[in-house]
Chains A and B, each alone.
Chain A
Amino acid sequence: MSLFIRNGLVYDPLNNVNGEIMDISIKGGRIVEDVDERKAKVIDASGMIVMPGGIDIHTHIAGSEVNSGRLLRPEDHVYDIEPKTAITRSGVGRSIPSTFTTGYRYARIGYTFLCNPSMPPLEARHTHEELEDTPIVDKVTYPLLGDWWFVLEFLRDGLIKECAEHIAWMLMATKGYAIKIVNPGGLEAWGFGRNVRDLGDSVPYFGVTPREIIRGLCMVNRILNLPHTIHVHTNRLGQPGNYITTIKTMDCVKDLATSNKPVIHITHCQFSAFKGDSWANMRSGAEEIAKYVNGHSHVTLDMGQVIFTDTTTMTADGPWQFTLYELSGNKWVNHDVEVETGSGIVPFRYRRKSYVHATMWSIGLELALLIKDPWKIYLTTDHPNGGPFTSYPKIISWLMSKKARERTLEKINRRARARSLLPSIDREFTFYEIAIVTRAGQARALGLKNKGHLGVGADADIAIYNINPREINPSRDYKAVRRAFSRAAYTIKGGEIVAINGEIVKVLDGRTYWINFEMSSQIGDLTRAPGDLKRKFREYWTVEFENYFIPERYLKVSAPIFVRAGV
């Protein structure tokens, strides 16, 4: 079927299109030069914004920890029920929606590509099963490799090339996309009841430091030519004073960058930008981080914005989740995933009147507004850690309108308001910049060639929002912006209209992208693992090697990305 989108105001930052009235032609799931208008289905988008489909670089939507979170919180789902319709399945929502609902709700706000950021390799099968049940959207998943015993051993012995071979096998075996590092070294130390306090601390038993892990994996990432950079959740996340650690983390890989390309992505940076030395005098370190990022080109960030709501925090960072449990006294889950990683889940409510929570809210926005180049910071809430993804329209309105920010500032804790930098920031995002932080920038950071833009040859993943920037002033009319972005007028995925005015009209299966290496060595054959992995499997894991890796036929819609690695 061919589609013709007429007269839309197109925002396509990767092709430098800034709100021009253009027509877009779609055929065979891709954007083409032109189609026969008489035969195509025509969408009249006059007075509407046309953007590439949204991309979420960091959202916990599938896998064992997400599912444990669902089980832990019946009270979260009970009053947000999604009844079945002729084409959609039933489900529940709020902070951790069920898989099908996740797909539908993302499609409703115009998002078509999701990155599930923390998959313990052992749970890859479960994760892919849930991703399969997340309809409409395309997805990738990042295996957690920063605390993997093999990686720690290789890096201790300085065997970068062997480490790269292992990671290449792991990415293919788990059908992963990027290297995710969570609290490098800290998760392993947590197995001994400890944590690491700084980049120079050594990990018990292994004797390797977080700095060596980050640098080692960054080099591995370069050897393997992966499309995305290393995706780092920093040490000391959520502790006052951690902004120094964050800057040190960014700085430790500075020399590995070539030709101004980013080499590290600091995820949910808000949680890593606290100043002060206790919760009582915790302050925003956004200014310092923004200063560093403005002066360097090897870093990208995402916000990890906090929303004042009841949500569920979940991360592989077991020690941090234990701290959060101690702070909140809530029910919790903590889990050690064999030799690979850890995890924790704690329900949490961010309160306006809490000094710390209000400061966190402010930090997220300060980061986005103080970092001058929108290509370096992306909009996320670290769903569901900072708040559910359904609140993205709210964040868009805060970014676009100082008035919207002031409205919320009026309601937050007084001390947090007095210390917030937000009143001094006048910057307001344009629709073009919003298109960067929600789509184009993320596509570039992820190295996606056919996503996040509307050039000829791109995948026809398009979101149309019913708002006219030529008539509406988003700074004043932020509520209209919020309304428009919370219900896409049309969401088009792979050339098919999947949602109209926030109603799902067609359900498709999204693709699962993964990295496939073109290599001459035997690594391409999953049954022949590199080194002595196979032998160690017997000693270390509770599953058999043969059950560990995921064959390609296991994925419903497999979309391998071929990468030429340097090993």
Chain B
Amino acid sequence: MYADCISPDIFGGRSPEEILKLKVWEGNRLKSLGDLFYVRFERDIEEDNIAVKLVGSFIKVRRIGANMSSGKIIVEGNVGMHLGEGMRGGEIIINGYAGSWLGGSMKGGRIEVKGSAGDYVGAPYRGSRDGMRGGQIIIHGDAGREIGHLMRGGTIKVYGSVKHFAGIGMIDGTIFIQGDCAGEAGAAMRNGRIIVCGYIPYIIPTFTIDSIRPNVDVDGEKISGPFYRFIGDIADNGEGKLFISKPRNPHLTFYDKYL
């Protein structure tokens, strides 16, 4: 189901009847929001601060909150792909699991996932080079592969672990991973920073060791290390910085001799 109409920007200024009539694609059929969901309106919300609360499983609903610029969406349950795609402002909070392409190509605003997220967090649509430009994505659980693909700005924080290719092709911005990374962090990155506080099996060979840093600053928060600092991806003339926790990765000590 494609429901880009579920967004505070679109709900704002519309009457309940109009909201119920908003169009939603269910497969190849055009339906209205009222046909598919039970909708309750609470009048006491201030006009300029609209909150949309979604209760239930929205795992098959895509593009919720796409291009939203203000207001708030709260999801009590799981939610499907492309949540908050191209979002410019406002806030989305998910008390559950979020699907792939969470905050894809987002430009601003804030997304917080209490559970885990799927692959391609902040990544652009297939084929596009329009990576995340700004804003903040916070995931308390784990995330999948290729988070922050072609990212150009903003911050992604994952408190759990991530799979392969975190920050692939990254151009700028910050990715912070509290847990482990399955490997290939920063492949083809040109700039920006990736911080891995957990275990990483290996660093790809196109990164060179630069120094050891006692701590790193992420959005004003001091993360204490020490960290190996790598520069790369040299294959793409990159100057990206990869910070890898030294105590959690004793198998990388052979890099010390190159310092």
Contacts and interface: CB of A to CB of B under 8 A. Distances in A.
Contacts of B253: none
B28 A72 contact: no
A156 B148 CA distance: 56
B204 interface: no
Interface string B125-136: 111111000000
B30 interface: yes
A78 B125 contact: yes
A165 to B, nearest CB: 45
Contact of B30 (A73, A76, A83, A90): A83
A74 B28 CA distance: 19
B127 A73 contact: yes
B28 A75 contact: no
B28 A84 contact: yes
Contact of A72 (B125, B127, B129): B127
Contacts of B127: 72-76, 331
Interface string B27-43: 01010000000000000
B173 interface: no
B84 interface: no
Nearest to B86: A79
A74 B128 CA distance: 8
B124 interface: yes
Contacts of B125: 74-75, 78
Nearest to A81: B25
A90 B28 contact: yes
A457 to B, nearest CB: 44
A83 B28 contact: yes
SS class, residues of chain B in contact with chain A: loop
B119 to A, nearest CB: 16
B240 to A, nearest CB: 17
Interface in A78-113: 78, 83-84, 90
Nearest to A79: B125
Contact of B124 (A75, A90, A330): A75
Contacts of A78: 125-126
Contacts of B128: 75
Contacts of B130: 75
Interface in A31-73: 72-73
B22 to A, nearest CB: 17
Contacts of A331: 127
Interface in B101-144: 124-130
Nearest to B130: A75
Interface string B6-33: 0000000000000000000000101000
Contacts of A90: 28
Interface in B37-67: none
Interface in A487-516: none
A414 B165 CA distance: 42
B228 to A, nearest CB: 30
A72 B128 CA distance: 10
A75 B126 contact: yes
A550 B126 CA distance: 36
A78 B82 CA distance: 12
Contacts of A84: 28
B105 to A, nearest CB: 10
Interface in B167-183: none
Interface in A320-374: 330-331
A73 B126 CA distance: 8
Contacts of B124: 75
A62 B175 CA distance: 43
A83 B24 CA distance: 13
Contacts of A83: 28, 30
B86 to A, nearest CB: 10
A385 B28 CA distance: 31
Given A73-B127, A75-B127, A84-B28, 14 more contacts: A72-B127, A74-B125, A74-B127, A75-B124, A75-B125, A75-B126, A75-B128, A75-B130, A76-B127, A78-B125, A78-B126, A83-B30, A330-B129, A331-B127
20 contacts: A72-B127, A73-B127, A74-B125, A74-B126, A74-B127, A75-B124, A75-B125, A75-B126, A75-B127, A75-B128, A75-B130, A76-B127, A78-B125, A78-B126, A83-B28, A83-B30, A84-B28, A90-B28, A330-B129, A331-B127
